[in-house]
Structures are given as C-alpha cells and as structure tokens.
Chains A and B, each alone.
Chain A
Amino acid sequence: MISIMNTFGVWLAAFFTLCIFSFLYQDNPFYKFAEQVFVGLSAAYWLVYIIYSIMVPNLFAKLAADFSGNIILLIPAALGLMMLMRIHPKTQWISRYPIAIMVGTTAGISMLRYMKSDILQQLTATMINPFAADTTPEVIGNLLMIIGTICGVYFFYFSKKQEGVSKAVSKVGIWFLMVSFGATFGYTVMARISLLIGRLDFLLGDWLHLIK
C-alpha cells in the first residue's frame, strides 16, 4: 500500500509542477488553482508550526507545568491577544501596545547589531594596508576595494548636490556598483537556473524515471 501511495504522491507532485509550468504558455485555470492551493497550504503550514513550535512549548506547556512559577508569561499572552484585536477596526488601537514593544525591541537590537556588523566591522575591514599583500593582483585588488568603498559610500550621500570633483568621485562609485550589479546578475542567473534544474530533475527522475 505504501508503494501505491508513494506513486500517487509522485504523480500529485508532478501534476502540481506541470500546473505551475503551464503559466509559461499563458495564465490558465490550472495555474490559478495551483497558486491558491499553494497559498492555503503555506498558511496552514506556518500556523501548525507556530502552534507546535512556539505556542505549546514556550507558552502553554510552561504554564501547565508550573503556573505560579511562570505567571509572568501571562503578560506576553495578553499582549499577543491584544495583537489579535487588530482584526476589528474599533479595537485596532489596542494592538498598538504589543506592536510598540516588538518594534522597540527590534529597533534597539537592530541599532546595536547593524552599528557593529555593518558599519564598524566593515570600516575596520576596509582600513587595511593595501601594499601588505603578497601578489600584485592582490595589491591592486586591495586598492580597488578601498577606492570603491569610499566612492560607493560617497555616491549614497544625498544630502548635498554632487558637482565638480564630488561628481567625479560619485561617478567612480557608480562604476563599482555597476560591476557589483553585473556580478549579482551572473549569480542570479546561476540561482534561477539551479531552481529549474531541481524541478526538471524531479520530473525526469522521480516521475518519468529517465535519469538513472
């Protein structure tokens, strides 16, 4: 029975795969059906995991095991319920409190983490002796990195109109950004093709058994 159900599962997966691929010809009922099924399944998946991975172990189980010891957990539970008040326009204002706590926490943590990882650490990584490298390409690369970073940051400085020398610096920044966008395009091609390979591998291998 298991093998029949396995085969049925593979055919179901192939059906949904082809439903989505049919969009490449034109929009059609099969695609629309598959798209909505995806939305439904996805939402339910999240919900089941939220219940079994967060609500139960981090809230309900703790309260059930030791209510008085974990009584403080009633506060986030209440805040969570207040969040749900957002559904109704009349009670929407209540949800502002939990949102404020979440946004405040995120803002505090983000400020610290981004300051350290994306500003200070990145500046430190740029402040290198370019001539300390072993090979000529590395020395050139280091110089390019320092110049590119400074010019790139300058390009994003929008508070002052960029004219004359500053415009030239900005222009160099754009060149570096273009090189980076080109590289990103190359990598994007790689990523997108990989996803297609995955699906064709399934259709030709698991479904049609054409790949050994």
Chain B
Amino acid sequence: MKISVLAERRIIYLVLLIAVALPLLFPIGWKTEVSGYTQMAYDLIENTPENKVVIISFDYDPSTMTELQPMGEAMIEHAFKRDQKIIATALWPMGVQMAEQAFEKVLRDYPDKKRGLDYVNLGYKVGGMVTIQAMGRDLKEVYPNDTRNTPYDQIPLLANTRRLKDVAWVSSLSSGVPGLKEWMMVARDSYNVPVTGGCTAVSAPGFFPYVNEQRQLTGLLGGLKAASEYESLIGRLGSATTKMDAQSVAHLLILVFIALGNIKVFVAKKKKTTKTKAFIIKRRKSND
C-alpha cells in the first residue's frame, strides 16, 4: 500500500497531537535533573541580600509564553521569597501584559506583597539596546512613571534606584530581539550589573557562549525543561513541571519519526539498487 505525501503528513500531525495530549490527560510524573546553568541562575537570586532592588524584564509575547511565563512566575516567586524588590520592565509591548499575568498568579500565594513597595511594573519602552543604555544613565528619564501613571519619584520602591547600577541583578526573559542579549551587552558588559535570564529553547544554543568565566551571563534558563528545573529548585509545582511529561513523550516520538524516515529512505535506496542490478544483468544477458 502506498501512502501519499499529504496523507503521510496528516498521519504524522495526528500522531503527534495524540502523543502530546495523552500525558497531559494522564500525567506520568517523570523526574528531571537540574543543570548547572539553571543552578547558577538560582544561586544568583538566592545569594542576593534581601531588600535589594532587582529587574525582571519581560521581553516576549504570548507566542512563547508556554516556555517563558513559568520562568517569570518562578523568578518572581523566588525574589519575593528572598524579600527582594522587583522592577518589571518590557522591551516587547506584549511583555507588559505577560508581567501583569505573572504577578497576578504569584500574588495569590504572597498577598502581603504590595505594588509600589515590593514590586512595580514600569511597562514597555521601545528602542532595545539604546533604551537600556539610557536606563544606565537615568531610569527616571526613560520611565517618568509606572503603568499606573504614578510618577517615578512617588514610588517608594524606587526611592534609591536612580540608574541601572543601583539594581542587584537583571533577569531578561527573552524570545528574540531585543532581549537577553541586549541586556547582557549593556547592563553586564557596560555597567557591570549581573545579568541572568531565560530564553526559548530555539535560541538557547546561541546564548551558551555568554555563560563563561567573564560571567557575561550568570546562568541561563533554556526552554521549558529549564523552567521546570527552576520550579523544582524553589519547590514550586508550576506549569512547566506538569508539562514535562508531554515534552518527554513528544521527544521520543520525534526520534521514532527520524528512525522511520531513515528506514524508508534506506529501503527505497535498496530497492533502487536491486532494480538497477537486475536491469544491468538483464541487459548483459540480452547482449550475450
């Protein structure tokens, strides 16, 4: 039986859909190991003294929220646990809403944390690297007010934070440009502020060179797996952890697809060689 390319493709889609859906419906509860990169990011936040002001930049949009939103929530929770004061910013306009959603979720467990005192959302600014550079000179100039239109000077949390150098660490959750790279280039390499962050798994391989002895990046969370690792480090059963079973099953399926694809090509090649050989023998016989 010969299956058309289109039908073949649709079968692949359907199998993948089922493979991802089943573990979501019937969780397996597989465990994952924490990588050194995640541990490094965790240690940075863990070892920062309380009452320090930190920046978490939400540089992504809903298209990648499955990977990055759990990181945002986990980092907010970790900073709250350590009594650090969070400034939320966004280099992507959709990041503002992502930040609000993350705070809303974490605040259910931390009802005593107050906007303006423990955290503030300064919102979105266009300009990427240039804007971060401007933040290095004067935060108030870039953010005259927060998303509630409260003037910068009237936000208690920002009383002693005038420029980028005044924050203890920056974390950028980034799904592209501008994002983690721009923060690292300016905040770390120009103003010497420790920078950590998370990125989508697609871009993670490109960020590994920055986790080096110069500590251009202090740790890195790459994709959903790293998000689940971070959740396990702070003891939170978050959305990333619950989704890791589906991720593992789907990975296994992709490997099966690769194997099947190669077997198909191998069989086709073998058939072709056999046919060619038979043809040559036939021709030789007829020539004789």
Contacts and interface: CB of A to CB of B under 8 A. Distances in A.
Do chains A and B directly touch (beta carbons under 8 Å) in the complex?
yes
B214 A53 contact: no
Contacts of A171: none
B24 A204 contact: yes
Contact of A194 (B66, B145, B210): B66
Contacts of A114: 185
B21 interface: yes
A195 B130 contact: no
Q: Give the interface SS of chain A, mostly helix, strand, loop or mixed.
A: helix
Contact of A195 (B63, B142, B225): B63
B25 interface: yes
A99 interface: no
Contact of B224 (A25, A105, A184, A197): A197
Q: Give the interface SS of chain B, mostly helix, strand, loop or mixed.
A: helix
Contacts of A121: 189, 212, 214, 216
Interface residues of B, number: 56
B96 interface: yes
A49 interface: yes
Given A125-B214, A190-B223, A197-B24, A117 B184 contact: yes
Nearest to B188: A117
A200 B125 contact: no
B20 A200 contact: yes
B260 interface: no
Contacts of B239: 201
Given A49-B93, A57-B144, A190-B201, A197 B243 contact: yes
A57 B152 CA distance: 11
Contacts of A187: 201-202, 204-205, 222-223
B99 interface: no
Interface string B107-132: 00000000000000001111001100
A195 B66 contact: yes
A113 interface: yes
B269 interface: no
Contacts of B67: 191, 194-195
Contacts of A204: 21, 24-25
A159 to B, nearest CB: 24
B232 interface: no
A128 B213 contact: yes
Nearest to B246: A197
Contacts of A46: 93
A46 B66 CA distance: 21
Given A50-B126, A192-B202, 20 more contacts: A24-B10, A45-B94, A61-B145, A116-B190, A117-B210, A121-B216, A124-B213, A124-B214, A188-B201, A190-B224, A191-B200, A191-B202, A193-B20, A193-B254, A194-B201, A194-B243, A195-B67, A196-B16, A197-B24, A200-B21
Top 7 nearest A-B pairs (CB, nearest first) are A198-B66, A191-B201, A125-B212, A49-B93, A190-B201, A194-B224, A113-B185
